[in-house]
Amino acid sequence: MVRAPGGRVVATTDLLVEGRHFRRDWSPPYDIGRKAAAQNLADVVAMGARPTALLLGFGAPPDTEIGWVDALCDGLRDECAQVGASVAGGDIVRAETVVLGVTALGALDGPAITRSGARPGDVVAVTGRLGYAAAGVELLSAGRREPADLIDAHRRPRPPYAAALGARDLGATAMLDVSDGLVQDLGHIAEAAGVRIEIDGAAVPLPPVPDGLRLALTGGDDHAFAATFPNRMPLPAEWRTIGRVVEGPAEVVVDGRTHGAGGWDHFRPPQR
């Protein structure tokens, strides 16, 4: 049983598959647990809800060591503690590889923040890191283990929960967590609200790598938050204004140009 003070529950679910979302030779089990929890808790927070519980579906090969599973569960528990949630239960099955199916629940104590609320005249702002996790993946794929902050960003995202939980009080009209790439995810807001989003590339916070803008625009898994706010609302320092919402076709443009394909899509054909 999970209490819902307002009588409404926000629910989200996500699936992590070994070899696609994480690799056991790249990430320790504790970090995998933190990551699995974070990407679901961030979805709940992005709707203006306070996370309350996770339900976990866990599949693993029969030779998986108990110590590995214990460390995974420690990671889930500690990430939930960041927002006052807990792991409420779940199910375990035998599988060929490690699979994590996580469902997160959250309680609303006010209006939900949806993707369709953006309006012309709003500003677009972000909080958190962009492109760090994607840079970490590229480094790991090249056999590198440094710089540590980029590698760790892939292994364990650090969503800025507190900043996002305060977004409703700042008048946020739409919000989401950046899981599949900034441009792609802002495109969901543009489509849902029927607006055009214009991004100033020079204002986007970048990871410390040579191709930082590309990674900031298309890299996922950092679980930063992007939101739209009324233009008159002064934003605290943790929110960085990067663009604006205008009338026009439902699209995202960067420096006046429509951005090409990017971001994560499981079913998009490989780019050649």
Residue-range domain boundaries for the chain: 9-107, 115-258
Mean pLDDT of 90-108: 96
Task: Say which residues have a Cβ less than 8 Å from residue 257's Cβ, sequence separation at least 6.
Answer: none
The tens digit of pLDDT for each residue in 138-181 reads 999 999 999 999 999 999 999 999 999 999 999 999 999 999 99
Binding region: 12-14, 21, 43, 90-91, 115, 177, 179-180, 221, 264
Token pair for 79: 């990430």
d(CA 269, CA 240): 33
Q: Tokens standing for 75?
A: 């990671």
Output 7 or 33, whichever has higher pLDDT.
33
Same fold, 9-107 and 115-258: no
Please name which of 215, 36, 210, 202 lies closest in space to residue 133, comparing C-alpha atoms: 215
User: In angstroms, rounded to a whole number, what is the distance separating the alpha carbons of residues 257 and 183?
Assistant: 12
pLDDT tens readout for residues 216-248: 999 989 999 999 999 988 999 999 999 999 999
Specify binding-site residues for Mg(2+): 12-14, 43, 91, 177, 180
CB 139 within 8 A of CB 150: yes
270 pLDDT more than 70: no
Q: Tell me what pLDDT residue 6 has.
A: 72
Residue 125 near residue 201, CB atoms below 8 Å: no
Average pLDDT, the chain: 93
The CATH label, of 3.40.640.10, 1.20.1560.10, 3.40.50.300, 3.30.1330.10, for the domain at 9-107 is 3.30.1330.10
Region 21-50: mean pLDDT is 96
- Binding-site entries for ATP: 90-91, 115, 179
Do residues 179 and 185 touch, judged by C-beta distance below 8 A?
A: yes
Q: What angle do CA 102, 72, 162 make, to 5 degrees?
A: 65
* Assessment of whether the complete model's pTM goes beyond 0.75: yes
Is 115-258 assigned to CATH 3.30.1130.10? no
Partners of 226 in beta bridges:
126, 176
Q: Residue 35 corresponds to which amino acid?
A: K
